[in-house]
Amino acid sequence: QVQLVQSGAEVKKPGASVNVSCKASGYTFTGYYMHWVRQAPGQGLEWMGWINPNSGVTNYAQKFQGWVTMTRDTSISTAYMEVSRLRSDDTAVYYCARAFRIAAAVYHDYWGQGTLVTVSS
Amino acid sequence: DIQMTQSPSSLSASIGDRVTITCRASQSITSYLNWYQQKPGKAPKLLIYAASSLQGGVPSRFSGSGSGTDFTLTISSLQPEDFATYYCQQSYSTPNTFGQGTKLEIK
């Protein structure tokens, strides 16, 4: 069965970086784009971007360009998202989500369990 | 960026009620609209994709409709497990923006 298992919670100081991993199993990792979505405490969902695990090509929301980096390691079916120069308002649960495509329609059929990143001095 | 606006932001309803949640896009997104359900402390769960297609395993009391800029999610007869927050998301263009959410509470 398809599973996305994310790394554990992190506590970071402002200005630091954090790297969240998302290990995929139960399907061909390179066959589906991986998206990242975050959710600040008590807030809604915010789309961050995607990575094509096959090519490594990425697409970031403009807000995140320059300080979020998405990568992957196909040998271990794992996607990564690094957020640099952390600020307190980056405190959020970060989700990876597989993107399934039918024709031009794209949707997230499987999600990781989420990784809480807390930024605090 | 395409803005997605949901209404209402919160809703109180009773078991067995028929409930409709609306999502409006700031420009046409044809039928590239998804609906998710999220319960506290859990990841979102896909309910509807491409505006009206029911994801496998999702109860048939959930349905979606609409095209262009206006979309609805309908729950035909509320069950206790349906009390949650619901989000729409457009996949017409990146960034694939979400609505702000609709919290469905027990009356």
Q: What is the pLDDT of residues A30-66, one digit of tens each?
A: 999 999 999 999 999 999 999 999 999 999 999 999 9
pLDDT surpasses 90 at A112: yes
Question: How many helices (H) does chain B have, and how many strands (E)?
Answer: 0, 10
> Mean pLDDT, to the nearest integer, of B9-14?
97
The pair of three-digit structure tokens given for residue A22, joined into one six-digit string: 């998302």
Q: What is the pLDDT of residues B21-58, one digit of tens each?
A: 999 999 999 999 999 999 999 999 999 999 999 999 99
B106 half-sphere exposure, CB direction, 13 A CA radius: 6
Residue-wise pLDDT for B78-102, tens only, equals 999 999 999 999 999 999 999 999 9
Nearest CA in chain B to A113: B43
| CB-CB under 8 Å, B98 with A104 | no
Residue A96 exposed, middle or buried by CB count within 10 Å (0-12, 13-18, 19+): buried
Q: Decide: helix, strand or coil at residue B71.
A: strand
Q: What are phi and psi of B26, to 5 degrees?
A: -75, -10
Each residue's pLDDT tens digit, B60-83: 999 999 999 999 999 999 999 999
pLDDT the model gives residue A48:
98
CA atoms within 13 A on the CB side of B65: 5
The string of pLDDT tens digits covering residues A59-100 is 999 999 999 999 999 999 999 999 999 999 999 999 999 999
> Is 90 exceeded by the pLDDT of residue A104?
no
Query: Are the beta carbons of A45 and B87 separated by less than 8 Å?
Result: yes
Residue A29: per-residue pLDDT: 97
Residue in chain A nearest B36 by alpha carbon? A108
Whether residue B39 contacts residue B56, with contact meaning beta carbons closer than 8 Å, is answered with: no
Minimal CA separation from B97 to chain A, in Å = 6
Q: How far is B45 from chain A (nearest CA, A)?
A: 7
Pairs of residues, one from chain A and one from chain B, whose beta carbons lie less than 8 Å apart = 66
Report pLDDT for A118: 98
pLDDT at A13: 98
Instruction: Give pLDDT, residue A102.
Output: 84
The beta-carbon neighbor of A61 closest among B38, B45, B95 is: B95
